[in-house]
Structure 1
């Protein structure tokens, strides 16, 4: 990722697309809102009776809103790099949008809620199949059980090289560290030719 210079001599940061994915209620909207340096665009809508029997609220019974399109935010992590964050909707019925949101992304933060581990499989499978680099970020909810990294990795069948971290989606610093971890991991996966081109 190489930044460019403007005619005035200032540095124009390179835009980098990041996807924030995960199951329903995992904390995607919260993460984007906590870390974005602009007022985030959110397409959250109040859940109605029409979603009864369609959206599984097991473990997130207090959730009253849901993302119906995407969340969008931006954060500058260095003078050379600005991240554009695209949060995916979590419910099965909106998965058709994931291909579009993932297009051009260098990587993904897959959020995991240990109260609903099974809701993470689809996101992990989606990015593995498309060979898009991702990290697994376990969102530490107050009422969730504590697990070790090895337990999470084994339960979700995560490949040995994929980073797994624990974080709090409500915390700007914690969310920022997750994004930096992803960028570093995605950069390490670049082909050697790309590295030479950026030198």
Structure 2
């Protein structure tokens, strides 16, 4: 086998720049799933079994048995010189203080939303605003979840007119990539508008 065809998981020596993006959202919204669908390496996951201690505190689908307790991490090569690092936040509010460290140095965040539990996204979006992190919103399509017009969701979430809102399926790589592209386009446009 030719050595240039071998992928050992390490970055090629040509990489000169890393870009950090945060994937945020409430518990059970699909952050780990989205990172897994995009990452070219086996993602680092800090999932643990949910316990009875979370009953009445952590509101999720009864089929969810694990939860992220620190972060998820994935990598996506953009070109021969640039990579994107994806950091997934834990979803429970009690872990929000950790977010300050996770968003440090990030260009922006992709906030995942579940229309079945829209109200759980308010604290997440507010916290991203408090941390001054530019973000796009991705409505994760769950089977059986109500579908709403994007502009209606924008109004319900009290988003600024320029905040991108896209619909995605976090299980699907192409769909997840389109959501990430919406965020990157937004960040690029915002950077072009900043006076030199």
Under a length normalisation based on structure 1, what TM-score does the superposition of the two structures give?
A: 0.87
Tell me, yes or no, if the aligned pair for 1:33 and 1:40 is still in contact at 8 Å.
Answer: yes
Q: Does 1:38 align with 2:41?
A: yes
| CA deviation profile, 1:99-158 (whole Å, cap 9, x unmatched) | 000100000000000000011111111122232210000000011011110111011001
Structure 1 residue corresponding to 2:56, chosen from 38, 50, 53: 53
Task: Return 21-30 or 118-127, whichever deviates more.
Answer: 118-127
Under a length normalisation based on structure 2, what TM-score does the superposition of the two structures give?
A: 0.88
1:92-111 mapped onto 2 (5 Å cutoff): 92-111=93-112
1:4 aligned residue: none
Tell me, yes or no, if the aligned pair for 1:133 and 1:189 is still in contact at 8 Å.
Answer: no
Using the alignment, how far apart are the partners of 1:127 and 1:93 within structure 2? Answer: 15
Q: Which runs of 5+ in 2 are unaligned?
A: 1-12
Using the alignment, how far apart are the partners of 2:124 and 2:168 within structure 1? Answer: 18
Instruction: Tell me which stretches of 4 or more aligned residues in structure 1 moved more than 4 Å.
Output: none
Q: Name the Cα RMSD after superposition.
A: 1.3
1:55-74 mapped onto 2 (5 Å cutoff): 55-57=58-60, 60-74=61-75
Q: Does 1:20 align with 2:23?
A: yes
1:7 aligned residue: none
The total of aligned residue pairs comes to 182
Tell me, yes or no, if the aligned pair for 2:15 and 2:83 is still in contact at 8 Å.
Answer: no
1:196 aligned residue: none
Cα distance, 1:11 vs structure 2: 4.2
Task: Return 60-69 or 35-44, whichever deviates more.
Answer: 60-69
